[in-house]
Amino acid sequence: MNFLPVVDRELRVAARKRGAFWTRIAGAGIGVLIGAGFLLLHSLEGRSGLRLGVMLFRTLVWLCLAAGLSAGLFLTSDCLSQEKREGTLGLLFLTQLRGYDVALGKLLATSLRGFYGLLAVLPILALTQLLGGITASQYWQSSLAVLNGLFLSLVAGMLVSTVSRDSQKALAGTLLLLLLLTFGGPLLDSVNAARQSRAFHPFWSLSSPGFALVAAGAWGRSPFWAAIAINQALGWGLLGLACALAPRTWRERRGAPSSRRGWAFAWKFGGSRRRERLRAKLLGPAPMTWLVCRERWQALGVWTLPILATGGIAGELLLSRHSVGGWMMWGSLGQFFTLFLYLWAASQAGRFFIEARRNGLLELLLATPLSEREIVMGQWRAFTRLFGLPVLLLLGMHAVGVTLSQLSFQRFAPGPPVRTVPSPSVTNRPGTVVSGQAAVVPHSTVTFSVATSTITPLAGSGRKPTIVRCIVALLTAALAAMSVLANLAALCWFGLWMGVTSKSANQATLRTLLFVQVIPWFVLAFGSGIGISLLMAGVYMGGGSNSSAAMLLWMPLLSASLNYGLTVAKDVGFILWSRKRLYSSLRERAARAVAEGLKAPHIRMART
């Protein structure tokens, strides 16, 4: 038998797939579009090429790291758990294959597309050296740090996949592990530095792939090679653990509670009283809603986000009421909460259809008197019933945090324009004029005290600028909340369609995020950036200082209105298109799934 036969076979199959080719095209195309957008924006703003090279390099390299760290979520977190659900992993271990054969084969097969995508961006990243500000050492070290982050993410997903069976739980476990690896070390070092009142000294941070990239871009001596060595040791240790656990975790657990009174069943579906009340309320009028609403553990998990957000805002108000940096940091934390919410919505939306196609439940549903519209709307009502209240609470806390963050940020903005009125000048002797200061005549007992110049604010002085800024912050927060709500609705509807058309839950989640959020975000960000730059250029060229200051005051609201308006329009388009496809093509897609052999050989009915 050849050495690593599964690796050889999986690499041959993966190299022939169209996804490997289109991933390289997409990676190179995104890099070219981002570079062209930066060139256009900087030409409109009239900035130097040296700054352009640095900003473009940092943007590309951090986007590459974010893409590399997210690869484990969508490529490897469900590779072995899917084999467990289908019952094919045990067949591999009936042969002479070892754990490292299967684990390495799955790792290399699933990571090939991610590696090709990053490899296509590296030549575009090298072009930033021609613009200046980036050395060859920074380029090579940053490229190595990006590949290091990709490797850590893939092995983290592989490890979680070996101990999990459910795709959504594997995705959540991989996300938690990646957050611990990326932010755990820097957070510990920051806490130690604050407690001991000293400068930040990296110790635990050396295990973070994000810190390795920061050290790669630093000038002078940096702990880059120590961070890379620790990251690689950690990654290979995770891979070795996955190889050791793979032959031991594919079997079903013995002694698992088969009774409905088991704690796992109660955690997943609730107690007997809850199940009876839910069945009596929904089974007759809305059977599809009852079928999706039975599992309550996902709703309990979503409740953690608004609880953490409420605790964070309350702690910030009580402990550091006047801290500007704290509220500006809350803006970044709010974005992280929003990203987690988007990931959850995309993974949850297509989950039911994926499982129903796999176990044959979708065929049974279509054989009932339920129409396609009732099946789809039943899922939507189940989503709103399970997750509506925690999502609304989280959006309310997010709006409060955005408002206070905007008000804190506006403290750095210039105040209203002022006009200086020259005071009368005093002549103490011929040829000497003193204005705006105390004049002392030498060799005399007379001192002329002259009043300083009077500063007269223009229109908008007093309490008016504070009121205007509060209105701007409130409107910006309201627009942000509406945009997040529209994005969640679009993710749910488009995720339902991806659940019908995709082969796996991770593929449906990745497609939903790419088409609804990632690709439109790039387009809207560059489009709105160009529009705002043209508007600012026109104001500075055609107006005076008063119009420029007013534009700075209203700029957050104008930018938010443009971005969020386009976002809501995009989301409405996705919702209408997805509903139309679901209502008209659900039965056809279900029949095609059976023809393609996606249905399991037997039908398992869930009973509660």
Pick the most confident of 423-437, 446-460, 586-600: 586-600
Provide the β-strand partners of residue 418.
457
Q: What is the model's pLDDT at position 129?
A: 84
Q: What is the model's pLDDT at position 155?
A: 93
594 confidence band (pLDDT: 50, 70, 90): low
pLDDT per residue over 304-332, tens digit each? 777 877 776 776 666 655 455 555 666 66
Helices (H) and strands (E) in the chain, counts: 23, 6
Domain ranges (residues) in the chain: 5-248, 267-415+461-595
Q: What's the whole-model pTM score?
A: 0.77
Among 253-267, 398-412, 576-590, 594-608, the minimum mean pLDDT is found in 594-608
Crossing angle for the helix pair 209-216 and 49-71, to the nearest 10 degrees: 160
Pick the most confident of 231-240, 339-348, 472-481, 593-602: 231-240
Q: What is the model's pLDDT at position 458?
A: 38
pLDDT per residue over 56-91, tens digit each? 888 889 999 999 999 988 888 888 888 888 777 877
CB-count exposure of residue 393 (10 Å: 0-12, 13-18, 19+):
middle
**Are 499 and 354 within 8 A, CB to CB?**
yes
The sign of the CA dihedral 426, 432, 438, 444 is: negative
Q: What is the mean pLDDT of residues 195-223?
A: 86
Q: Does 26 score more than 90 pLDDT?
A: no
Among 162-171, 202-211, 247-256, 509-518, the minimum mean pLDDT is found in 247-256
Provide the β-strand partners of residue 419.
456
Among 103-117, 201-215, 401-415, the minimum mean pLDDT is found in 401-415
Element (H, E) at 457: strand 454-457
Q: Does 365 score more than 90 pLDDT?
A: no
**Are 164 and 81 within 8 A, CB to CB?**
yes
Q: Using CA atoms in the order 440, 445, 447, 448, what is the torsion angle rounded to 10 degrees?
A: -100
Pick the most confident of 107-121, 231-245, 254-268: 231-245
**Are 147 and 53 within 8 A, CB to CB?**
no
The sign of the CA dihedral 348, 350, 354, 355 is: positive
Q: Does 147 score more than 90 pLDDT?
A: yes
**Are 143 and 228 within 8 A, CB to CB?**
no
416 φ/ψ angles, rounded to the nearest 5 degrees: -65, 150
**Are 129 and 139 within 8 A, CB to CB?**
yes
Q: What is the model's pLDDT at position 490?
A: 93
Q: Does 149 score more than 90 pLDDT?
A: yes
268 or 553, greater pLDDT: 268
Q: What is the model's pLDDT at position 455?
A: 36
225 confidence band (pLDDT: 50, 70, 90): very high
